[in-house]
Amino acid sequence: MTPFNFFFLLYFLLIPTSGYFQPLEDDGFISGVISNKGLDFAKDLLIEKGIDTVVLLKLPEIENTAQVALVGNAKVVLSDITIKDVQVNSSSVVIGESGIVVVVSGATVDLSMKWKYTVSSWLIGISDHGTASIKVEGMQVGLTLNLKNQEGGLKLTLLDHGCYVGDLSIQLNGGAAWLYQVLIDAFQENIASSVEDGISDKIKEGIEKLDNSLQTLPKQIALDKTAALNVSFVGNPVLTNSSLAIAINGLFTRTSEILVPRSYNNGYKVSSACGGLPKMIKVSIHENVLKSASLVYFNAGKMQIIIDELPDQNLLNTAEWRFVVPQLYKRYPNDDMQINISVSSLPVIQVGYQDIGATLSVDITIDVLEGGEVIPVACISVDVSASCGVEILGNNIAGRLTLQNFSAYLKWSKIGKLHIHLIQSLISSTLKTVVLPYLNLQLKNGFPLPTIDGYGFQNTIILYNYPWISVCSDVSFIDEDYYLIQHSTYVS
């Protein structure tokens, strides 16, 4: 199992599946949940990955001597002892205050090996070699893990681990009749110990690699030249008898900022239910994540677009306005225009019980293009109310804005008084056919949800529960064609 893959499994071992979960810390704004169904899935996937690392494992050579009646002192060497296959009969995962306990019981292990022996006596000297098959039954493997916050990262510790071999049988290919009994009497315990030590060492080695990988995880992810996401872990993971809870900060910052606490407070309990559906994973995002993104882009002056193309391009020529705003056409006859739209105050964002509400004020500045110059001639302030629905596009979480209402008033004019009611339809058309499609195009890209070695979110539902947005989902293996189909469906 690779460290990267295992981390994302641990990353989503978050909250219980019913009732409420009190946030770990006041500055943790992204949290989630893995249900018992999800825990079993993660456990089975981890065991599968673990088996892949054990199969073809070569165990150390074993050498021993035995006194054989009528033959003499035999020196026997077992080499190329290789684990060929592992079959798991049953397994379980238990999460409690002591840690995460994974137990495999009733496992069967098939091994192959080579053998050779030499017998030297004062009468004769003989030797032989061959191969053998070994079957181990009733093997049990257990490990106990714990996670701690270490300066915003995760520290993975192996608290306990072990492997116990039950019954062991050997099938010789060739060899003298006495050799079988020698192997059983003199080597059975050695072979069992070698299997136990080999698997135990692999467990320890794997956990050390995972921990080293966790230490290299970034605490901040740059999203673009403007914004970064604070992904540092907040508080220690909380272990209960049915869950492992983890939270990350989750707020947006400027890419140049040093990570420092912000004056946000989540202050609410998080519902861990998924509408009565038995989903594997639940990820909850506080509305302050959206507010922090809005603040970063607003302060950076990035909430601005210039429109110089419209479905009806004639609207961007003063001739089209000659009956609505005759003074504009009189002063700038047949000149091209552009519309400069900028957000004038920090948007107000709130997660409701059905969608996300947004209220923002924008300034729509009308510019005339004359002789290579851009001449601002009038500015209209528009207060816009919109709603945003969260959607899952392939393995991305995306959004879609819908215009609810707007009101407009003249902020300033260099061409005399404008009759706002006459250009209300133009404003509406611009918002619906240009501004919203442009914003939805940006929102459609969304943010990628984590994938686990080809496994991704499936059968996902979105829940709104002020002030949280929650993504409830199952996890399964999904190929690239699935994402292409989802993307094509969304675009159409």
CA distance 286 to 247: 11
Q: What is the CATH number of the domain that holds 340?
A: 3.15.20.10
**Total domains present in the chain:** 2
Short-list 238, 346, 338, CA closest to 292: 346
Short-list 97, 36, 2, 479, CA closest to 282: 36
Q: 252 and 190 share a domain? A: no
| Amino acid symbol at 66 | A
∠ Cα 395 396 400 (to 5°): 135
Short-list 351, 439, 343, CA closest to 399: 439
214: three-class secondary structure by DSSP: helix
Q: 255 and 372 share a domain? A: yes
Residue 421: is it exposed, middle or buried by C-beta count within 10 angstroms (0-12/13-18/19+)?
exposed
Half-sphere exposure of 405 (CA within 13 A, CB side): 3
Q: Tokens 């210039």 identify what position?
A: 306
421: three-class secondary structure by DSSP: helix
Q: 328 and 385 share a domain? A: yes
Q: 58 and 192 share a domain? A: yes
In Å, how far are 324, 333, 376, 397 from 337, measured between CA atoms?
15, 11, 10, 36
Q: 166 and 115 share a domain? A: yes
Token reading at 426: 């133009």
CA distance 161 to 202: 11
Q: 131 and 159 share a domain? A: yes
Other CB atoms within 10 A of residue 87 CB: 12
Residue that is last in its domain, among 186, 215, 244 = 215
Dihedral sign (CA 197, 200, 204, 205): positive
Range of the domain at 272: 220-491
**Alpha-carbon Rg for the chain in angstroms:** 34
CA distance 281 to 243: 12
Residue that is last in its domain, among 164, 191, 215 = 215
Q: Residue 470 falls within a domain, yes or no?
A: yes
Q: What does the buried/exposed string (b/e) look like for 230-261 if buried means 16 or more CB atoms within 10 Å of the residue's CB?
A: bbbbbbbbbbeebbbbbbbbbbbbeeeeeeee
319: DSSP letter: G
Q: Are 242 and 95 a contacting pair, CB within 8 Å?
A: yes
Q: 134 and 228 share a domain? A: no
Q: Tokens 């994302």 identify what position?
A: 8
Q: Tokens 């912000």 identify what position?
A: 262
105: three-class secondary structure by DSSP: strand
Residue that is last in its domain, among 158, 185, 215 = 215
Q: Residue 19 falls within a domain, yes or no?
A: no
Token reading at 15: 């909250």
CA distance 185 to 102: 33
Q: What is the CATH number of the domain that holds 200?
A: 3.15.10.10
Half-sphere exposure of 217 (CA within 13 A, CB side): 28
Q: 445 and 369 share a domain? A: yes
Q: 447 and 487 share a domain? A: yes
pLDDT tens track of the chain, all 492 residues?
333 333 333 333 333 333 344 444 456 788 877 777 887 888 888 888 889 989 999 999 998 877 766 666 778 889 999 999 999 999 998 887 778 889 999 999 999 999 888 877 666 677 888 888 999 999 999 999 888 888 888 899 999 999 999 898 888 887 665 667 776 777 888 899 999 999 999 999 988 988 998 888 888 988 889 999 998 988 887 776 666 777 889 899 998 765 544 444 444 455 556 777 778 888 888 999 999 999 999 999 999 989 888 777 888 899 988 888 899 999 999 999 999 999 999 999 999 999 999 999 999 999 999 988 999 999 999 999 999 998 887 777 888 999 999 999 999 999 988 888 878 877 887 788 888 888 888 788 777 666 666 777 888 889 998 898 888 888 887 655 444 444 433 332
In Å, how far are 207, 320, 363 from 332, measured between CA atoms?
73, 12, 22
